[in-house]
Amino acid sequence: MIGIIGAMEEEVAALKEAMQVESVTEYASMTFCKGVLCGKEVVIVRSGIGKVNAGICAQILVDKFGVNALINTGIAGSLNAKIDIGDVVVSKEALHHDMDATEFGDPIGQVPRMDTLAFPADEHLIRLAKAANEKVNPDIHTFVGTVASGDQFIASQEAKDKIVNNFHAYCTEMEGAAIAHAAYLNKVSYVIIRAISDKADNSAHVDYPEFEKMAIARNIKLVQEMLTSM
């Protein structure tokens, strides 16, 4: 069973429309649609925005539906000059850029008393996502790198530079690390797929509305192709 999480309804609506729905269940004020998509058994859900929502959602998928793989699809801000609006970032790993226990001697981003700073994505899922995007969206570039998550919409050069300097991440968003964290603790595989909607700097408020729909549409095609090849 594969769990597919999007923070916003726009990120999963087309996938739910394309699937054969077998059941709809509500947990923690989230609606979980179980069924078949591209020949695979899936559960598709809108988690809501932010790391707490995303972490709760991932845990429900594991506990209530027994998923063994999590796919997080959505949009993000680019942290790398080579990664343009419309391009796709596939997670090599994910981390919490807003975790700060440096006062206790931990490096920035480290969850205290955990045995890892970053949560590695599943290598097989990474390869599938990269190949799927190159097939269905050949006009854009695919990058595999670190995804940095925090409960902040990054829209200033200062905030962007801080994340880049600390983590050398490729993109920033608000849910992925929580899903990766849950996957790590539950020993299930995961991958984060992020279409770039803005440059996570002073232009973010201008770029975001214009490119959000385009980015989501590309991600939908990617996820469907990925499921077909699994």
Active site residues: 11, 198
CA distances from residue 60 to 29, 40, 47, 65 in whole angstroms, order as listed: 11, 19, 10, 7
What gap in Å lies between CA 206 and CA 77, rounded to an integer?
Answer: 12
What gap in Å lies between CA 135 and CA 130, rounded to an integer?
Answer: 9
Vertex 208, ends 93 and 137: CA angle to 5°?
60
The half-sphere exposure of 180 on its side-chain side, counting CA atoms within 13 A, is 28
